[in-house]
A and B are shown apart, each in its own frame.
Chain A
Amino acid sequence: MRCSRLLSSAIVLALSANAFAQGPTYRLGTTPSEEEIKARDTAVSPLGKELPPGSGTVSQGSTVYAQKCVACHGPNGTGTRLHRGLIPLGNAKPVKIDGSLVPYATTVWDFINRAMPSTRPGTLTPNEVYAATAFVLFLNGIIQETDVLDQMTLPQIRMPNRDNFVSVEIGLKPGERRPLGHYP
């Protein structure tokens, strides 16, 4: 017992001494190439620094929409019986509707890029994604008809709900009381 307790203390000490920056223990797995990582990592974060070169306008987006989106999302972006609408995307006041809370325009770009069109996700070119994003944001009154979206302008768009998020449990430690919990 004492041995195992000593051992656990040693492990705890080792872990707390930033062991995660130390060398590997099991030496399993292989090192992926830069190219493999780049090919598999298409994610775009709120800062938008991963955005690829390219650009798109509302008018170009209207064309992309007519070709690849209208079948599910309806002629005006309001959806069909089976599929969701693209409006509202960022209400002035958050309501519980899919998409209505999106805090960053990069989220819209990333989701169109990775998941649309739903029949062939990931097939849009960067220009098409910029254009489709521009069209959707225009439909929602978030950008002007003349705006051009690219690596520089997209991350600067201020979504209506950017400041309407309260992150409830970030930093909550195991065993701590939840902020919205019921403790009579």
Chain B
Amino acid sequence: MGSHRHSDRRQFLTESAALAGLAVAAVQTADAQTPQTPQSPVRLKDNLAYGQPSPFDNTVRRATGAGTPITDTALTTPLQDLDGIITPSGLHFLMDHVNGIPDIDPQKHRLLMHGMVERPLSFTIDELRRFPSVSNVYFLECNANSRPLRGPNGDSVQLVHGRTSCSEWTGVLLSVLLKECGVKADASWIVAEGGESNKYTMSIPLEKCLDDTLVAYAQNGEPVRPHNGYPLRLVVPGWEAIRAVKWLNRIAVVDRPAMAWHEAGNNADTNSEGKALGFRFALGPKSVITRPSGGQRLPGRGFYEITGLAWSGGGAVRKVDVSTDGGRTYKDAQLQQPVLPYAHTRFRFAWEWNGEEAVLQSRCTDERGEVQPTIAEAATILGVTPEYFLQADHFNGIQPWKINRDGGIQSALF
């Protein structure tokens, strides 16, 4: 169990990325090699200045399509290889709508806040760091996460569900900044814009901005990583991560949504009546067993700890049930503390495999009482067939993993 399909090492990938064009071939060559101790003195020095994983650790982000080269547009978090609830910053997923990750000089970066406010204001990063700060653990999940059967290898946790990650975010509450600006009485939305070349834009209702929305400058104790929005990122707890504008550059306070391209043209699901379901914000309750999971292999019968992650845009996870018989019966899983609102929650379930076929699946219930649906139940809610979810977003259906007699594991969703 837990066998890795690729033995490419993170460090090797970093170097391959520098050798643009050679990356794919180089990684494939590396597959056949056994890990070796780094020999370059430069590499050793780098390892000491900023600690690196063991060369024997092959936990890496992966591109979403089989055979797709590592690019800076769509990389998934290796949830099956991780423990606890915090995603290491270097493994945070990446889904971009830009032409590459911008290099933003924090000394030159200014957050501009204007529009329907008494006092337009411009903030440097240093000024933002002088405000009272808060740190909270929040997941960010792409609304396209968990779309089933992504490509030929789309049956692994990472490729299907790896567009969610969980970090401790530190920054200043957007409500504090809005108060400094003095929001006018008839304002009802903000429009947030990124500082990348094509200025990605999203609209967010003012109520959420005055609640828990965070202007984050730190992630897991250090500055937000470039691929996550350095030097500033909006974090909108529990909501689809397309709202969490990276490289946050400008906030306009307005009285209607911008209907910007990525919120109007894309990212809306459709229902059976031919209507586009716009502005779906809070993500539904979801859970997935990360071990044992698709693409892994159980070495033999005996004891296994089933473990996985649960989360919800509805707040904290109230409970997780696990079934080992394809959903006929469920039992409570143990929730690992801390169980935090809008954060990944780790669950565990002791299991003895008797060597026969089994279907493992988990079901999340959040503090609001909303329950993670089966794919059939999710289809009923929208009035569609299950195949609809092959293309749709916001799918939070239960993920069944089928254990074969030989220990092989694959998705049993369809």
Contacts and interface: CB of A to CB of B under 8 A. Distances in A.
A114 interface: yes
Contacts of A26: 130-131, 176, 180
B351 interface: no
Contacts, number: 205
A61 interface: no
Contacts of B276: 94, 101, 161, 164-166
Contacts of B250: 40-41
B131 A94 contact: no
B99 interface: yes
B119 A24 contact: yes
A25 B180 contact: yes
Contacts of B130: 26, 28
B260 A107 contact: yes
B56 interface: no
Interface in A133-184: 161, 164-178, 180-184
Given A45-B256, A94-B274, A110-B261, A32 B284 contact: no
A31 to B, nearest CB: 6
A100 B275 CA distance: 12
A114 B281 CA distance: 24
Contacts of A165: 268, 275-276, 278
B193 A43 contact: yes
A76 interface: no
B381 to A, nearest CB: 6
A37 B259 contact: no
B235 to A, nearest CB: 16
A18 interface: yes
A103 interface: yes
Contacts of A41: 112, 114, 250, 252
A79 interface: no
B258 A96 contact: no
Interface in A89-124: 89, 93-96, 98-104, 106-107, 110-111, 114-116, 118-119, 121-122
B185 A121 contact: no
Contacts of B184: 21
A90 B298 CA distance: 49
A22 interface: yes
Contacts of B112: 32, 36-37, 40-41
B198 A118 contact: yes
A30 interface: yes
Contacts of A114: 198-199, 201
A104 B382 contact: no
Contact of B182 (A20, A30, A115, A184): A20
Task: Pick the most buried of A21, A23, A164, A181: most chain B CB atoms within 10 A of its CB.
Answer: A181
A80 interface: no
Contact of A182 (B182, B207, B254, B377): B377
A29 B180 contact: yes
Given A29-B180, A101-B268, A182-B371, A115 B281 contact: no
Task: Pick the most buried of B122, B180, B265: most chain A CB atoms within 10 A of its CB.
Answer: B265
A174 B275 contact: no
A28 B180 contact: yes
A170 B124 CA distance: 32
B36 interface: no
Task: Pick the most buried of A27, A42, A45: most chain B CB atoms within 10 A of its CB.
Answer: A45
A25 B123 CA distance: 15
Nearest to B198: A115
A102 B114 contact: no
Nearest to B206: A20
B371 A184 contact: yes
Nearest to B380: A182
A19 interface: yes
Contacts of A122: 197-199
A-B interface, 7 closest residue pairs, ranked by CB to CB distance from nearest: A115-B198, A111-B261, A29-B121, A182-B373, A181-B370, A20-B183, A121-B198
Interface of A: 18-32, 36-37, 40-43, 45-47, 89, 93-96, 98-104, 106-107, 110-111, 114-116, 118-119, 121-122, 161, 164-178, 180-184
Given A24-B181, A181-B368, 7 more contacts: A40-B249, A43-B260, A46-B256, A101-B276, A161-B276, A176-B368, A184-B371
